Chains A and B, each alone.
Chain A
Amino acid sequence: AQSVAQPEDQVNVAEGNPLTVKCTYSVSGNPYLFWYVQYPNRGLQFLLKYITGDNLVKGSYGFEAEFNKSQTSFHLKKPSALVSDSALYFCAVTTFFDAGNMLTFGGGTRLMVKP
């Protein structure tokens, strides 16, 4: 069985400071990892993915994430947070990339960026 853990329910950061949202995963086989963001009253939106290759992946809105196989982690990062980044962030994993994208999601982390 595969699982995703997001150990922080909420992350608070001041605008302009760097942010990190943590994610660890457990799978049998090679992981395909994703980050999605959910704004209030909006559907989940794709941010970025790791499939293969470079461990540092860049995505939308200046976000990036680093795949660390030895630590089974895929933390989301941004060098300088914006108030508009405040939202709910979900990490997800699958091991069957082309078999339906049946993602297993973490419980989510609420990011609060204060002016």
Chain B
Amino acid sequence: DTGVSQDPRHKITKRGQNVTFRCDPISEHNRLYWYRQTLGQGPEFLTYFQNEAQLEKSRLLSDRFSAERPKGSFSTLEIQRTEQGDSAMYLCASSPGTGENTGELFFGEGSRLTVL
């Protein structure tokens, strides 16, 4: 399958622990996005990358959230000192870069975080 893959699919952790999620985008896509989806709500934009450059990060929810895409391929989203309010589905998406951009995002199946 050559779609967007996310790992792990489900993470259960205790409050105060750090968690990291990984996203592997479609290989030829330059742009990578992270969204958060809480129960009963639509996805909420967090951050995005064009290759390895993080071009928008002001909507990360707090300074406990950080994302990297060191080689312009896969990305990680880390949440430090987790809180129960961080429990949500974390979605990754990718898209082609400028010139090939049709506006469509290709989403992974998400990583569900449960903070006890």
In Å, the complex CA distance between A46 and B4 comes to 14
Which one of A42, A46, A100, A105 contacts B43 once the chains associate, using CB atoms below 8 Å? A105
| Chain B residue nearest to A33 in the complex (CB) | B103
- CB <8 Å contact, B55 and A106: no
- CB <8 Å contact, B42 and A4: yes
Which one of A4, A44, A51, A106 contacts B103 once the chains associate, using CB atoms below 8 Å? A51
Interface size classification for chain B: 20 to 34
- CB <8 Å contact, A103 and B41: no
- Check if B65 is an interface residue, CB within 8 A of chain A: no
Interface string of A72-111 (1 = CB under 8 A from B): 0000000000000000001010000110111111111000
Q: Known A43-B109, A100-B55; judge A107-B43 contact (CB<8 A).
A: no
Q: Known A105-B42, A105-B44; judge A100-B109 contact (CB<8 A).
A: no
Which one of B41, B42, B95 contacts A101 once the chains associate, using CB atoms below 8 Å? B95
The size of the chain A interface, using a CB distance under 8 A, is: 25
- Check if A45 is an interface residue, CB within 8 A of chain B: yes
Closest 3 CB pairs of A and B: A105-B42, A43-B107, A44-B107
* 14 A–B contacts from the bound complex (CB under 8 Å): A4-B42, A36-B105, A36-B107, A43-B3, A43-B4, A43-B109, A44-B91, A46-B106, A49-B103, A98-B101, A100-B50, A102-B48, A102-B56, A103-B105
Q: What residues make up the interface of B, taking CB atoms closer than 8 Å to A?
A: 3-4, 31, 33, 40-45, 48, 50, 55-56, 91, 93, 95, 98, 101-110
